[in-house]
Amino acid sequence: MTRKKVIVTGGAGFIGSALARHLVLEEDAEVVVIDKMTYAANRANIASAEATGRCRLIVEDICHQQAMTDIVAREKPQQILHLAAESHVDRSISGPRDFVETNVIGTYAMLEAARAYWAGLKGAEKDDFRFLHVSTDEVYGSLGPEGLFHETTPYDPSSPYSASKAASDHLAKAWFRTYGLPVVVSNCSNNYGPYHFPEKLIPLVILNALEGKELPVYGDGSNIRDWLYVEDHARALSLIATKGELGETYNVGGRNERTNLQVVEKICDELDKLVPGERPRRELIRFVTDRPGHDHRYAIDATKLETDLGWRAQENFETGLAKTVRWYLDNADWWTPLRKTVYSGERLGLSEPQKA
């Protein structure tokens, strides 16, 4: 049987690397990672996949359309799983240009590269080709105290990040409707787990708490997110790419709603249990000025994915968080250089105008 070949854009980042590892180590696929290797990418994230000889890294910017066209034509993948994106909301507030360029122009370049390649395929190869565009639940905006995001929920993005992802979602759907490119779209809730870059909430709190630093919580900590363990997400993405209906959207969520304050407190309690300190780490919590345009609640209904494709999350928030905390305790050699040279825990997202 021929081994499946997959291109994963953004495959040295957090979710992309989890997907690359899953495809190589669990599905015996061949994976070509395309990654610009920005601050949030790390080759160590895919070291275990590369060690098999079935994962290769190509360092390139997805915005370079001719390069993408050449790579796709040369590699001849059965699937392109497009995850490359600028993804941190706070950074999008202080520097939106990169988000528009990577998330919108980069997605356009990937769609065109895929279309050029797909147009030259014939027979079963053409019928089997898939392009999965991976997106976020933030495109839907903010929920009230009740209800869930469905695949049919109208888009209402609040931040430069979510607006850029909404635009890229629309491009992907348009390339399916206009050109027939075999596109599927996924929108996920907040991911967490191993190899998560330490600017995001859960790894930031883990590392700050270990170092005895203050734990900043935006506003009153009541903002709610639905948390999804990254390895559960990786399984879902492979399934959607392979079995999802063309032109459709699939929401991926963990059914694990927690307030930000509950998340921070749970991390504190888990660390107190594993690495007791002189005082409870909850005493490090500090409430800070809220993020501009901070959506209050996200929650995903993953019924379509569960019913139509048979996916189920294997981790709940308690088991997933325990694994995540333990991973950071056991892998200081991964995050220590990042804290020293790339991001030391300072606040991001201050909304100062960018220069042209």
166-187 residues labelled b (16+ CB within 10 A) or e (exposed): bbbbebbbebbeeeebbbbbbb
Catalytically annotated residue among 108, 140, 161, 195: 161
Cα–Cα dist 178/155, whole Å: 21
What CA–CA distance (Å, rounded) separates 339 from 199? Answer: 9
Cα-to-chain-centroid distance, residue 80 = 16
Spot the catalytic one: 30, 61, 90, 137: 137
Sheet holding 249-252, edge to edge: 55-59, 30-35, 5-9, 79-82, 130-136, 183-188, 249-252
By 3-state DSSP, what share of the chain in percent is helix, strand and coil, each rounded to 5?
Answer: 45, 15, 35
Amino acid present at 184: V
Cβ-based neighbours of 283, under 8 Å, separated by 6 or more: none
Please name the amino acid found at residue 335.
W
* Distance (Å, whole) CA 321 – CA 266: 9
Backbone phi, psi, residue 34, to 5°: -110, 120
137 is catalytic: yes
161 counts as catalytic: yes
Annotated active-site residue in 35, 90, 138, 232: 138
Catalytically annotated residues = 137-138, 161
